[in-house]
Amino acid sequence: MPRQLNFNRTGQRITMYQTGQRWSSRNEPDLGVGMIVDKQNKSFTLHFPDAESDRQYSNDQTSLVRRTLTVGDQLHYQDETFTVLEVEDVNDLIEYRISEDDDWLEESLIQFPRNDKNELDSLLALSPARRMWFDLRRHTLEHQAENAASEVRGLMGLKAELLPHQIYLAHDIANRPKARALLCDEVGMGKTLEAGLILHQRLLNGLCKRALILTPTNLQHQWLVEMLRRFHQPFALINDAVYADYMEGDDNPFEQQPFVIAPIDWASQHPNATQHMLEAEWDMIIVDEAHHLAWHPDTPSISYQVVARLAAQTESLLLLSATPEQTGEREHFSRLQLIDADHYHDFEHYQVQQNTFKQAAELAEALLPFTQENHPANALDWQNLFSEYLSEVNAKEWFQTLTTQQGDAVSDAAKEAISWLIDRHGTGREMFRNTRAAVGGFPERFVHTYPLENNEFFESANRHVQPETEVADGLWEKDPRWSWLKEFLECQADKVLVICHTADMAQWLNDQLTFAGFQSADFHEQMPLIHRDRAAAYFADEDGAQILVCSEIGSEGRNFQFSHHIVMYDLPEHPDLLEQRIGRLDRLGQLNDVQIHVPYIKQSVQERLFHWYHHALNAFCRTTGSGDKVEEAFGDSLHAYLTGQDDDTDLLAEAFAYHEALLKQMEEGRNRLLEMSSCRPEQARALIDQINNQATKGLHHYIEQVTHAFNIYADCINDDPDQAAWFLRPSTDMMLEALPGIDEDGKMLMLDRRQASQRENVAFATWEHPLITMLMDEVQGFDSGKLTSAILPIGALPEGTVLVESMFVIEATAHPRLKLAQSLPMTPMWQLSDSNGKFLHQQFTADKWAEKLKGVPNRVAEQWVAALRKNLIEVLQSHQLNAQDQARPIVHAAKTAYQHRCQNEIERLVELKAFNNTIRDEDIELLETNMQEGLTRIDEHQIRLDAIRIILTTKP
């Protein structure tokens, strides 16, 4: 059969991807060998049977290696073993002759074995690389193994301060077999970051490859910015403006992009978009502002029905809502049904459960004061308070302490009692809620008003919420607010954030302020993201801009808590937008009280809007999640008041009373036990300590090594390992095509989370940063680095003595859900011997040994390898046997640890199931099945030769 080849104009062979071909991934070698099972115009899908996983790749990827067999290799077909007698390439598919009778098998039909037959010889056929590549490969494998085994993998790369409630919640949900939960933190608590952390953790741990985020239209850009800035995760935004652009033939736009953000109103109302979205397969769905998913037994909204269909066919689902119960308990139950339809199948049963949970919450409320050091001296009647649980708690040591002792012991016992209540009622719960009151640490908010006299140029202020829209921009300088702003800023020494509604106004204000001599920058949606980053960085810089002028949309998702003055040049028309504005400064980490400055023209719509926000909602001085509900209740009266048709200020008092009643109802329904189960402070602190210890450990030295190896321009700005900073940019002789997130102008990488979080124009570098993971993958994919050479100047050995270093790797392939890497990651084993097979590695550490070596020219090294080839193969065969001995205690320890961890969790759930009906038999059965499968996969581990270094001794 003739071999069919395809070439481009430069004479290079074109890779033709065909269904049935076998490929492996340089970036994820533990997946094993995969087969192309589906092919589209611009991409294809590989199925990896060993890992039970699918991956989608674009046609222009460079991370895959074609896998074929050679004559003499063995293959498996229908439980029989055959030897390959002949190989043919037919239209880019390989066929193997397996008998003298001219029987041929296409590659898609065979079970692909690991091709170890010529492994040693093929490594020795490589051109030796510089000696440092061996050490770089070893360090890379060691760091990859440490990070893969980490309990906090996926939580380390967040470019923001680590907040206990966010880390605890994300760790809890992300580590569940299915990440399905309702996130109900109050406004300003960071639900977006929590959802992003859960997604990021599952992405890095291989549990999510495709995600869809559905948002309100006004929040789509905020999500886009936050995912990129905080997690370095690019998303495609698919909405009405770009949907048609993604269409190409019959291709599904939602299938072309692995990570998509779409406005839910459009996506659920556009028939074709809805169908495309439902046909695409997703691993995770995130729905923001989920309380807008309106539901009624007879007429659920279209958006609810669409999300219900997505929820039924997707493994992970996160619903976000600061006010989940504001639309009523029945609608709240309907959203819980989206999370778990089997458990929430009956509303009356749910109400009974909630009543029981409420009683437990009241008991937790009674215990809470006793957890403090200065707890009440007089004990409560614990026997009576625990009457419903006496049969369960009488034998508990903490209960005996509560009922018989006083002093410090009571404080610890109360904490244990609350922990027991959380386990009894909280484990497996789908709803999480963190509140400002429970978390603490938020600043106070103060509002300052500046009533201004109007003039003939701005009479439109009496009838229009944005009066400048009816005034020529050449007359905007006549606006009384502009005159006030100049005078106000002249008296300010602190940094000031100015927010207005439109990009045009933001740009005009900045131009005028700059012309007037102020250090000012603008920030709006008409600017490219890179320019917005620079403006934010200029504002954040201590010696930079004093004033940042933002538009409504442009400032979404940006936090400037280093400033504590905010000027509302105008007021938005929705209370949620007002809270978003204030939330730019009112964040955890704000060190000062937030000062809110509101200029308004007297007798204007803006004045009436201010009075509504301040006197009816008290929205400037506290957060509220019920503003839209109050506006809905007073709709017609409010419209008449804002437009000046009715000046009756009794409306404000009535609305205030209505709002206070709502807040009181919410406070009475506040579930302290739910809040406690949403964040256990001691566990959260332990997770944060672990993240801080691991996120950048050893990274400073690794950046120095890897940038040198690939000829990347790297300038160390700060050499302190804990606060290191590097400036990187591509060089003319760089060995890589591109650096993720770094253009030709370069970028600063900082290893200090706090410093990096305060600067928009720098990257926060951790072991999870895309650039670092890419460089580590490139090290592993650099085949020439598998064979290196060196000389050892030493007088104790005869000149010309041959020494051999090798690095073998223990690999266990399994589905990510088994979490095998936490016990047995891809583990490197270093060995050193002389040419007679006498092992010497126990006398040195690998790093200390590497310090003794010197470089050797490549041409000389090639001559060594050629001359020593036969002897080297024999030495490496002895290394192979020794590696098996090295691996046994490692594998045994991993197997023991894996079984212990799984068994502990199974036993814990079995014990809790006796009194917690949220834990189901199938949950425990799944853990047991996973444990047995994981133990089997550990037993099926393989040992692979990764790299060799050949050393010759010389005179010192």
pLDDT in tens, 576-632: 888 888 988 987 778 899 999 999 999 999 999 999 999 999 999 988 767 878 888
Q: Which of 4-18, 475-489, 623-637 has the highest mean pLDDT?
A: 475-489
Q: Is the pLDDT of residue 927 over 50?
A: yes
Burial class (CB in 10 A: 0-12, 13-18, 19+), 611: middle
Give the residue among 601, 608, 604, 620 at the shortest CA–CA distance from 484: 601
pLDDT band at 121 (very low <50, low <70, confident <90, very high): low
In this structure, the number of other CB atoms found within 10 A of the CB of residue 441 comes to: 11
Report how far Cα 233 is from the mean position of its chain's Cα atoms. Answer: 8
pLDDT of residue 29: 59
pLDDT of residue 667: 65
pLDDT in tens, 681-694: 889 999 999 999 99
The model carries a pTM of: 0.77
pLDDT in tens, 222-234: 899 889 989 999 9
pLDDT in tens, 352-407: 877 778 788 888 888 888 888 777 777 788 988 888 888 888 888 898 888 887 76
pLDDT: which is higher, 329 or 205: 205
Cβ atoms of 191 and 185 closer than 8 Å: yes
Angstrom distance (rounded) from CA 494 to CA 515:
20
3-class secondary-structure state, position 302: helix
In order, the DSSP letters of 755-819 are: HHHT-TTEEE--TTSHHHHHHHHHHHH-GGGGEEEEEEE-SSS-TT-EEEEEEEEEE----GGG-
In order, the DSSP letters of 308-365 are: HHHHHT-SEEEEE-S-TTTT-HHHHHHHHHHH-TTTS--HHHHHHHHHHHHHHHHHHH
pLDDT band at 869 (very low <50, low <70, confident <90, very high): confident
Q: What are phi and psi of 378, to 5 degrees?
A: -90, 125
Burial class (CB in 10 A: 0-12, 13-18, 19+), 687: buried
Q: How far is CA 657 from CA 52, 437, 611, 651, 663, in A?
A: 59, 22, 15, 10, 10
Cβ atoms of 702 and 139 closer than 8 Å: yes
pLDDT of residue 410: 85
Q: Is the pLDDT of residue 7 over 50?
A: no
Q: Please tell me the least confidently modeled range out of 158-162, 644-648, 940-944.
A: 644-648
Q: Which residues have a Cβ under 8 Å from the Cβ of 350 and sit 6 or more positions away?
A: 333, 336, 344
Sign, CA torsion 144/150/155/157? negative
Q: Which amino acid is at 349?
A: H
Sign, CA torsion 531/536/540/542? positive
Bridging pattern class, strands 316-320 and 180-183 = parallel
Q: Is the pLDDT of residue 342 over 60?
A: yes
Q: Across the chain, what does the average pLDDT equal?
A: 87
pLDDT of residue 220: 87
Bridging pattern class, strands 43-48 and 33-39 = antiparallel
Q: What is the 3-state secondary structure (H, E, C) of 675-742?
A: HHHHCCHHHHHHHHHHHHHHCCCCHHHHHHHHHHHCCCEEEEEECCCCCCEEEEECCCCCCCCCECCE
pLDDT band at 1 (very low <50, low <70, confident <90, very high): very low
pLDDT of residue 785: 86
pLDDT in tens, 201-252: 999 999 999 999 999 887 888 899 889 989 999 999 999 888 888 776 678 8
pLDDT in tens, 761-817: 789 999 999 999 999 999 988 887 899 999 999 988 899 899 999 999 999 989 999
Q: What are phi and psi of 601, to 5 degrees?
A: -80, 130
pLDDT band at 5 (very low <50, low <70, confident <90, very high): very low
In order, the DSSP letters of 107-159 are: GGGSBPPP--TTHHHHHHTSPPB-THHHHHHHHHHHHHHHHHT-TTTTSS--S
pLDDT in tens, 712-735: 999 999 888 888 999 999 999 999
pLDDT in tens, 813-865: 899 999 999 999 999 999 999 998 899 999 989 999 999 999 988 788 888 88
Q: Is the pLDDT of residue 427 over 70?
A: no
3-class secondary-structure state, position 224: helix
